[in-house]
Amino acid sequence: MAKPPASIAELTEKYGPHPNYVPIGGWQEQTSNPADHLVKTHCCFCGQQCGIQLKVRENHVIGFEPWEDFPFNKGKLCPKGVKRYLQSNHQDRLLDPLMRTDTGFRKADWDEALDFTVRRLREIQAKHGKDSVAVFGGASLISEKSYLMGKFARVGLGTRHIDYNGRLCMVSAGVAYKLAFHVDRSPIQWEEIARADVIFVIGANIGECYPITTDYIWRAKDRGAKLILADPRMTPISRNADIYMPLRPGTDLVLLMGMLHVVLRDGLEDRDFIAEHTSGFDEVAESVKSYDPRSVGERTGVPPETIERAARLFATAPTGVAMHSRGLEHQSKGVENVLALINLTLATGKIGRPGCGCTMITGQGNGQGGREHGQKCDQLPGQRQLTDPAAREHVARIWGISPDELPQPGYSAQEIMNAIHEGEIKALVCMCFNPVVSLPNADFTREALNKLEFFASIDFFLSETARHADVVLPGSLQEEEEGVVCSGEGRVCHIRKAVDPPGNARPDSEIICDIARRLGKEKYFPYRSTREIFDELREASRGGIADYYGITYEKIDRQMGVFWPCPDLDHPGTPNLFEGGVSFHHDGKCRFVVTEWRESGDPITPEHPIFLTTGRVVSQFLSGAQTRRIGGLVDMYPEPRVEIHPRLAAKHGIADKDWVTVTTKRAAITLRALVVSTIRPDTVFVPYHWPDKKSANMLTHRTIDPRSKIPEFKVSACRIAKAERAPEEEL
Amino acid sequence: MFGYEFYVDTSRCIGCQACVKACEECDTHRGVSMINFDYLDRPNTIETSAFVCFHCDEPTCAMVCPADAIKKGEDGIVQSSLKPRCIACSNCVLACPFGIPKLVPEYEQMVKCDMCYDRTSVGKKPMCATVCPSQALAYVRSEDIPKLRREKAINEIRFGNEVVKTKVFMMVPQDGEDRISLDAADYMWEGEPNEPGTIIAR
């Protein structure tokens, strides 16, 4: 029974989150005792992977210095990047293995913690079968660790159930791009954005979630480019948009099909491109016939003439880039939404030329690399399909096992949690994933974790999820192991090690290999360094879609990153895909794919008449396990507030900063109001970085896209009411 | 840095406060930011602005200082108050037309943006302009600005009939741009009046 062994207040008191405001030794120490060297590396947070230099003194990270030579961000950073160094030397850092007791956790030594972990995993697998154990990984891990997690699950434990928190991030885009182009990567390097004549951003809060991308858009605008924005909220870049479309949450598909309708009705499609480089156009053209601007306006809440203007502007501009992120993808029809945007891009011939492309904006630090090398439930290294016999053969040979020993695809992240709740999965090994905060329907997630017979968590801080663990193994921060990540533009970057893990904490990769060794699988995990893991990853990815064979740490340093595919050591890498309109499909064609509307998994009703949508703020990152521990970031946005339009607020007698209870079919939470005219009056927004009583994911639902298995975080039905008092702190 | 000037463009600000946070990291005033950051009117707009000191040709702060504690260098940079002279009277804080100087109680002194003298004197850009992801704060060769930006740079700022000339430039539209509404509801369509299809609560 993996229930937290003490109250939230007691666990918070002991393990945080506590905000860290100053570097080790205080501010004065920084002046009197400056850094002894700088380490060129990358920010640990989002998928932009900005270059940054960490100031290091005596094995401590004590500050940062911009890295102006790194071409992606040229020294630019967001506040998370500026303050990221404060996660080092943190009072909440786990320095010893912890074992659960009746009243909390006690420190243990590594042998005791690991022997106990291995004994429990063996007992449970012996009794309930290999697949009764699941593994969770994460997309903030360097690619070497992501690769290791996949191999550990399939070879070390022999379970088919491994998935990762990228399931909440890039999978809708991944499925759609694979269907259309047979590859899951942004087709373009970011520089193409600055070369575009029109930029269409749908479902992406660029100013807050990808601040550095703003620079590329502003540079395009300085050349005269137009900006089209579709979002239920006016996000920070919206005041510079030429066309703003405030669509109803969950109606993106209708809007995009409506735009394609206008393009085809007015004969603005690129017929030569369609004929030469695509297939499936006629079926898609037929499917949008009924999506006239008027009916689309009624369903989306966007004026028909705005839809017409946007469609014509996108189609007639000589070059253009369409960009999307989780707004489009966090829906139970996330794959369809992305396909509809790809269809629009293909129909207007905006693929495979400079300044053109349809592109996903990757969310997590290694959101791209973390999904390429085998930590997804259905994939093997190199973006190979686990069901493909040739792929199994290739990877099994490198791993030194028979292809028959490789498990078949297992459950996705939400499905694993469902199976834990149902009792099918009995044990969990989790690293770099905080599902208590990040999965939908948080009460359900907690109930599920409480049922686990054994739960081992590898973590650097005691996350809200790790509170449920039987054993907590203290792992490493990004700056404590060398490796690579792949940024959102497909650029493989070198993460340099800056410092050693403190106390008795160990590098994550060593912990995983040690568990594998104690499971009797030592010969499959002989690595002495992450570099050796990377060399195996290169071979395992060789010949695959995400081919890393020609990438080395040294080559990354020389070239300031290498874009995959990079099939041999002399290959310079591939910044732009599909040049000349040629996709990765065997016939080289780009595929139009028909999309079909279906209702959200939690549609609005008279009882729950308001849309709830969730997302991020600029100062916090994902479940907040790191950023809720950095004082300067906490102060910027200390608590989640519910954004409400003044019209809706007036109807409920709510003033700014009033307590408001938001209720869905799952739960009710009470937060302070942020009354702003920058959101649709039929929609409220709550950022999701906080746990427990402040968790937006108490409210969201577990409906997943049938193909990508992404939960529908962006569309729920709720009602709101003014609350008389602040909520109780404890659950 | 020779040939470089500082340009502020609030229309490009995304409110991320990287400048505020990075300024706190400066060795000469660790933990205290010299950036003036504001949400203009959050109930009605997402508009934000971030300002550094404008470094006036004839700095009002220096003129009203009774202790002669505020000096302008030959480089045109108006410095923080001289610690031995400053009497923490706040005259400068009240008088500055841009609201820039800050009285920091724990320092018992007025401090303000000195455009990162510690960085510019060794060939680096000011910290805020280096990290700003959205070009709202930029330190650029003045000859490059017309090539890079569609706006024009001005450094004469009007307060009624008084014109203040500054070292720092503000970016303004080439010619007047239309006013835009910053209310999401003004961009929506909820069907013709009295028609079905508009079930959403207002």
pLDDT band at B178 (very low <50, low <70, confident <90, very high): very low
Q: Which of B18, B47, B180 sits opposite A82 (nearest CB)?
A: B18
How far, in Å, CA of A520 to CA of A26, rounded? 46
Indicate the angle between helix axes A252-265 and A304-316, nearest 10 degrees.
Answer: 60
Residues of B with CB below 8 A from A214's CB? 12, 14, 133-135
A561 vs B117: which has the higher pLDDT: A561
Residue-level pLDDT at B193: 58
Q: Which residues contact A566 (CB under 8 A, 6 or more apart)?
A: A492, A547, A548, A549, A550, A551, A572, A573, A574
Query: B133: which residues sit within 8 A by CB, 6+ positions away?
Result: A73, A76, A77, A78, A211, A212, A214, A215, B14, B16, B18
Task: Return the pLDDT at B192.
Answer: 62
Q: Contact, A155 vs A399, CB < 8 A?
A: yes
B133/A76 CB distance under 8 A:
yes
CB contact under 8 A, A63 and B25: yes
- Interface touch B134/A239, C-beta < 8 Å: no
Q: Which residues contact A714 (CB under 8 A, 6 or more apart)?
A: A203, A249, A250, A326, A327, A330, A331, A613, A614, A615
Please report how the helices A252-265 and A334-347 are oriented relative to each other, as an axis angle in degrees rounded to 10: 20
Of A621, A635, A172, nearest to A437 by C-alpha is A621
Distance CA A348, CA A314 (A): 8
pLDDT of residue B182: 57
* B13, closest residue in chain A (CA to CA): A236
Confidence (pLDDT) at A617 = 98
Q: How many residues does chain B have?
A: 202
> What gap in Å lies between CA A699 and CA A663, rounded to an integer?
7
Tell me which of A298, A307, A617, A637 to substitute to probe the interface with B (most B C-beta atoms closer than 10 Å). Answer: A298
Nearest to A159 by CA among A138, A120, A128: A128
Given this model, what pLDDT does residue A385 score? 97
Give the C-alpha separation, A498 to B33, whole Å: 27
Quick one: pLDDT at residue B197? 41
Q: Which of B39, B134, B139, B195 to mutate to test the interface with A (most CBs of A within 10 A)?
A: B134
Cα distances (angstroms) measured from residue B181 to each of A80, A234, A244, B151, B186? 31, 11, 11, 21, 7
Q: Which residue, B162, B151, B130, is CA-closest to B63?
A: B162
Distance CA A152, CA B18 (A): 39
Chain centre to alpha carbon of residue B10: 8
> Where is pLDDT greater, at B195 or B93?
B93
DSSP A156: I
| Residues A553 and A534: beta-carbon distance below 8 Å | yes
Tell me the Cα Rg of chain B.
20
Amino acid B26: pLDDT: 86
Looking at residue A437, what is its pLDDT?
98
In DSSP terms, which residues pair with A198 in a beta bridge?
Answer: A226, A320
> Which member of A27, A208, A645 has the closest CB to residue B30?
A27
CB contact under 8 A, A246 and B200: no
- Residue B75 binned pLDDT confidence (cut-offs 50, 70, 90): very high
Distance CA A494, CA A516 (A): 26
Report pLDDT for A565: 98
Residue with tokens 């493989």: A492
Nearest to A446 by CA among A92, A37, A731: A731
For residue A185, the one-letter residue type is: R
Rg for chain A, CA atoms, rounded: 24
Q: What is the dihedral of CA A328, A334, A335, A341, to 10 degrees?
A: -20
What contacts A277, CB < 8 A, 6 or more positions away? A346, A351, A352, A581, A582, A583, A588, A589, A590
Residue B181: band (very low, low, confident or very high) from pLDDT cuts 50, 70, 90: low
CA distances from B169 to A110, A189, B17 (A): 60, 33, 20
Provide the shortest C-alpha distance from residue B186 to chain A (in Å).
Answer: 9
* A30, A62 Cβ separation under 8 angstroms: yes
Distance from CA of A343 to the nearest CA of B (A): 25
> Which residues have a Cβ under 8 Å from the Cβ of B105 and sit 6 or more positions away?
none
Contacts of B47 in chain A (CB under 8 A): 239
In chain A, residues with a C-beta closer than 8 Å to the C-beta of B200 are 248, 301, 604, 609, 681-682
Residues of A in contact with B125 (CB under 8 A): 68, 75
Strand blocks (E) in A512-609: 562-563, 590-591
**Helical H segments across A593-656, by residue range:** 631-636, 646-651
Looking at CA atoms only, how far is residue B44 from chain A in angstroms? Answer: 5
Q: Position of tokens 């907040």?
A: A624
CA–CA gap between residue A565 and residue A383 (Å, rounded)? 11
Closest residue of chain B to A611, computed from CA coordinates: B200
List, for residues A377-407, the tens digit of each pLDDT value. Answer: 999 999 999 999 999 999 999 999 999 999 9
Residue A714 near residue A609 (C-beta atoms within 8 A)? no
DSSP state of A45: S
Residue in the block written with tokens 């749908």? A202
Does residue B159 surpass a pLDDT of 90? no
For residues A337 and A329, the answer to whether their CB atoms sit within 8 Å is yes
Task: Give the Cα separation of A131 and A153 in Å (integer).
Answer: 10
pLDDT tier at B198 (50, 70, 90 boundaries)?
Answer: very low
pLDDT category, B176, cuts 50, 70, 90?
low
Residue A222 buriedness (CB in 10 A; 0-12 / 13-18 / 19+):
middle
Facing residue for B16 by CB, picked from A30, A78, A609: A78
With contact defined as beta carbons under 8 Å apart, do A664 and A716 qualify? yes
Q: Which two tokens stand for residue A499?
A: 């410092």
Neighbours of A587 (CB within 10 A): 10
Question: Residue A571 belongs to what H/E stretch?
Answer: none
Residues of chain A with pLDDT under 70: 1, 729-731
Taken in order A656, A627, A431, A616, the sign of the CA dihedral is positive
Contact B25 A82 (CB under 8 A): yes
Min CA distance, B101 vs chain A (Å)? 22
pLDDT score for A594: 98
Give chain A's domains with CATH numbers.
8-87 (3.30.200.210), 98-169+366-579 (3.40.50.740), 177-360 (3.40.228.10), 610-722 (2.40.40.20)
* B14:A207 CB<8 A: yes
Per-residue pLDDT, averaged over B14-42, amounts to: 93
What per-residue confidence (pLDDT) applies to A730?
A: 61
Q: Which residues of B touch A244 (CB under 8 A)?
A: 187
Site from B1, B104, B183, B199 to mutate, A interface, most A CB atoms within 10 angstroms: B183
User: If residue B93 lies in a helix (H) or strand (E), which one and from where to where?
Assistant: helix B91-95
Residue A214 contacts residue B155 (beta carbons within 8 Å): no
User: Is the pLDDT assigned to residue B67 strictly greater than 80?
Assistant: yes
Q: Which ranges of A210-249 would DSSP assign to H, the alpha helix?
A: 213-222
Can you say how many angstroms the Cα of residue A172 is from the centroid of all Cα atoms in its chain? 11
Place of tokens 């640990």: A44
Beta strands in A567-650 (DSSP E): 590-591, 610-615, 641-644
CA B89 – CA B101 distance, rounded (Å):
12
Q: How far apart are CA B172 and CA B149, in angstroms?
A: 10
Beta-carbon contacts of A88 under 8 Å, excluding residues fewer than 6 positions away, are A24, A60, A61, A477, A479, A499
Q: Do A298 and B191 touch (CB under 8 A)?
A: yes
- Closest C-alpha among A375, A379, A446 to residue A408: A379
- Hey, what are A622's tokens? 């994902």
Give the Cβ contact number of residue B178 at 10 Å: 5
DSSP 8-state symbol, B78: B
